[in-house]
């Protein structure tokens, strides 16, 4: 498949998805199927024609996690910290946002890592646990817990 055709294919796929969502919304509001389809088609075309690159950037920024919907801080205890590979082994409690029970596991450290003495074995920490697009578990915003 040539690279020149990919953007057109992507645009077409996005139009189909937009039409399906609008059609579904119209049917949910009690519109007749023909009227809902016409309304969805017109709305999808209008949305596609008026979308600029800055609109896409604004939409992406709106979809980014804000502090209000950021994953919750989890608690754990440092078992091992390897600054060379930026991996930390944590014995953690339940990770509600990942639907995981308490266990000991290795996380890739994302962002700024605390100083080495703050990640000494036995140190209690709070952190944000997430799964990255590659399927690896990451820990960020790691902060020692005051005793």
- pLDDT of 91-102, one tens digit each? 999 999 999 999
Asked if residue 21 has pLDDT above 90, the reply is no
What per-residue confidence (pLDDT) applies to 29?
Answer: 54
Res. 87 pLDDT band, cuts 50 70 90:
very high
Residues in contact with 132: Cβ distance below 8 Å, sequence separation at least 6, in sequence order: 108, 110, 138
Report the C-alpha gap between 36 and 44 in whole angstroms.
12
What per-residue confidence (pLDDT) applies to 85?
Answer: 94
**DSSP line for the chain:** --TTTHHHHHHHHHHHHHHHHHHHHHHHTT--HHHHHHHHHHHHHHHHHT--HHHHHHHHHHHSPPGGGSPPEEEEEEEEEETTTTEEEEEE--BGGGTB-SEEEEEEE-SPPPPGGGG-TT-EEEEEEEE-TTS-EEEEEEEEPP-
Asked if residue 135 has pLDDT above 90, the reply is yes
Asked if residue 51 has pLDDT above 50, the reply is no
């Amino acid at each position: 498949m040539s690279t020149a055709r990919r953007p057109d294919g992507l645009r077409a796929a996005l139009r189909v998805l937009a039409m399906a969502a609008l059609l579904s919304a119209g049917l949910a509001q009690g519109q007749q199927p023909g009227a809902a389809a016409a309304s969805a088609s017109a709305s999808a075309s209008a949305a596609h024609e008026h979308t600029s690159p800055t609109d896409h950037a604004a939409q992406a920024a709106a979809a980014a996690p804000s502090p209000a919907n950021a994953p919750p801080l989890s608690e754990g205890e440092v078992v091992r910290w390897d600054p060379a590979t930026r991996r930390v082994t944590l014995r953690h409690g339940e990770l509600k946002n990942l639907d995981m029970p308490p266990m000991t596991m290795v996380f890739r450290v994302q962002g700024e890592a605390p100083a080495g003495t703050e990640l000494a074995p036995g140190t209690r920490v709070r952190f944000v646990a997430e799964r990255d697009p590659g399927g690896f578990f990451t820990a960020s915003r790691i902060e020692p817990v005051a005793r």
